[in-house]
Chains A and B, each alone.
Chain A
């Protein structure tokens, strides 16, 4: 906030009719964008930020603005900025349920055994998924382990040995991503996606309000590994569609409860 000199304040007093005493001329909804964004930053994403996005166009624009997202940026010069983290693990630890994390377009992000136990949306910040690469080094079981409903989009996840995505529970949505298992003699041990989720029996299923554990994949390239999806629980691969392009294949499929 700029320091105001006495001259400036005096100038305002001299300006004609600059002061209007009536309250109705300036009410709560004449708050400017910066102020409203500040207010929204105090709210939990679930449920409040999602509620405010349904209030009106202006509020939706501000509530969904990337300014309210957490950011992962590898360069160290941003370490003092609030909401900016040098690595994905730190961002996930700091995030609140329902937050969105924007990962900067960079090809050397590290993701090793990162557990996600709250609903989060991870977005790659580049134009293409190829621009944002998370690498899981040999020695780690998986890049990302999901124990909650989440969404990932526009990212490349690459593993040297192991799994790209380990799905334990929750509804996982994968959109516009690239999952790669590096080619090596042991790549029969790696899988782009592995799910250990087990759908409960029909009675317990009816007690659950929302959909059961599942994975939904859309427009995603899957390369390498023994096979695209390995399930050790009782979920099955369904509704598989593929589009063959010149250099790659895009997949759409679901991993869920066996449909009778």
Chain B
């Protein structure tokens, strides 16, 4: 195991993970850089149940290209096929050329996207906790996927179904609803995908 980081959840549980995993979080990365490495990093706002889910995500994403933010610039050292031995692979130009044509990289990224989509197929309360944790710990990819998970819960549902899912009350009067539908009257079928 390489260098590890110790994290303490809000309810006092200790998690020891590799640097590459923990450093998916920009916050943890900057805290670890700051002072001595033996200390544990407390994360009071994340409880153990959520932190273990977050670390599961980070483990999968460590040493993988970030699929959501930098798709075009996968460095060749992260490619499953190439092992960084290609000449001139360090320049950013050849990295982007590499990722666009490299089938192995593309497949790896697609597999990761599939995994991510499965990961956020969970109940909305868990997605909410993941959103808050991703925001608090500044984990870009997890933020993206948690938002996608919440959006996915909404997609294709009518207003009443959405209200049930999110536990919301309909605070429109029938007149207000009619007004809103009138605003949409310029469209042929606003509710038809």
* 6 chain-A/chain-B pairs, Cβ below 8 angstroms: A19-B45, A27-B167, A29-B168, A35-B147, A42-B147, A173-B186
Whether a CB of chain A sits under 8 angstroms from the CB of B2 is no
Asked if residues B168 and A56 are in contact (CB atoms below 8 Å), the reply is yes
Give the docked Cα–Cα distance between A17 and B41 (Å): 20
Which B residues touch A19, using CB under 8 A? Answer: 10-11, 44-45, 47
Contact of A171 among B30, B186, B191 (CB under 8 A): B186
Give the docked Cα–Cα distance between A44 and B190 (Å): 11
Name B residues whose Cβ lies closer than 8 Å to a Cβ of A. Answer: 10-11, 26-27, 30-31, 34-35, 41-45, 47, 124-125, 127-129, 131-132, 135, 138, 147-148, 150-151, 154-159, 162-163, 166-172, 177, 180, 184, 186-193
Give the docked Cα–Cα distance between A4 and B163 (Å): 36
Task: Answer whether A98 and B168 are a contact pair too, CB < 8 Å, given A43-B155, A52-B154.
Answer: no
Which A residues touch B45, using CB under 8 A? Answer: 12, 19
What is the distance, in angstroms, from A163's C-beta to the closest C-beta of chain B? 21
List the B residue with the shortest CB-CB distance to A12: B44
Q: How large is the interface on A (under 10, 10 to 19, 20 to 34, 35 or more residues)?
A: 35 or more
Whether a CB of chain B sits under 8 angstroms from the CB of A117 is no
Whether a CB of chain B sits under 8 angstroms from the CB of A39 is yes
Give the docked Cα–Cα distance between A184 and B149 (Å): 58
Which B residues touch A9, using CB under 8 A? Answer: 31, 41-44
Whether a CB of chain B sits under 8 angstroms from the CB of A90 is no
Which B residues touch A23, using CB under 8 A? Answer: 125, 129
Whether a CB of chain B sits under 8 angstroms from the CB of A55 is yes
Whether a CB of chain B sits under 8 angstroms from the CB of A1 is yes
Which A residues touch B188, using CB under 8 A? Answer: 119, 149, 170-171, 209-211
Asked if residues A56 and B151 are in contact (CB atoms below 8 Å), the reply is no
Whether a CB of chain B sits under 8 angstroms from the CB of A28 is yes
Asked if residues B44 and A28 are in contact (CB atoms below 8 Å), the reply is no
Give the docked Cα–Cα distance between A46 and B191 (Å): 6
Asked if residues B184 and A1 are in contact (CB atoms below 8 Å), the reply is no
Which B residues touch A50, using CB under 8 A? Answer: 184, 187, 190-191
Which A residues touch B47, using CB under 8 A? Answer: 19, 21
Asked if residues A28 and B10 are in contact (CB atoms below 8 Å), the reply is no
What is the distance, in angstroms, from A159's C-beta to the closest C-beta of chain B? 23
Per-position 1/0 for A99-119, Cβ under 8 A of B: 000000000000000000001
Task: Answer whether A149 and B11 are a contact pair too, CB < 8 Å, given A1-B138, A26-B132, A28-B167.
Answer: no
Contact of B186 among A3, A26, A121 (CB under 8 A): A121
Give the docked Cα–Cα distance between A160 and B129 (Å): 58
Give the docked Cα–Cα distance between A55 and B127 (Å): 20
Task: Answer whether A4 and B34 are a contact pair too, CB < 8 Å, given A9-B44, A42-B151, A48-B154.
Answer: no
Asked if residues B128 and A30 are in contact (CB atoms below 8 Å), the reply is yes
Which B residues touch A12, using CB under 8 A? Answer: 44-45
Task: Answer whether A56 and B154 are a contact pair too, CB < 8 Å, given A28-B124, A171-B188.
Answer: no
Asked if residues B151 and A43 are in contact (CB atoms below 8 Å), the reply is yes
List the B residue with the shortest CB-CB distance to A9: B42
What is the distance, in angstroms, from A214's C-beta to the closest C-beta of chain B? 11
Which A residues touch B159, using CB under 8 A? Answer: 51-52, 54-55
Give the docked Cα–Cα distance between A6 and B33 (Å): 11
Give the docked Cα–Cα distance between A35 and B129 (Å): 12
Give the docked Cα–Cα distance between A56 and B164 (Å): 12
Task: Answer whether A28 and B127 are a contact pair too, CB < 8 Å, given A9-B42, A52-B162, A171-B186.
Answer: yes
Asked if residues B42 and A13 are in contact (CB atoms below 8 Å), the reply is yes
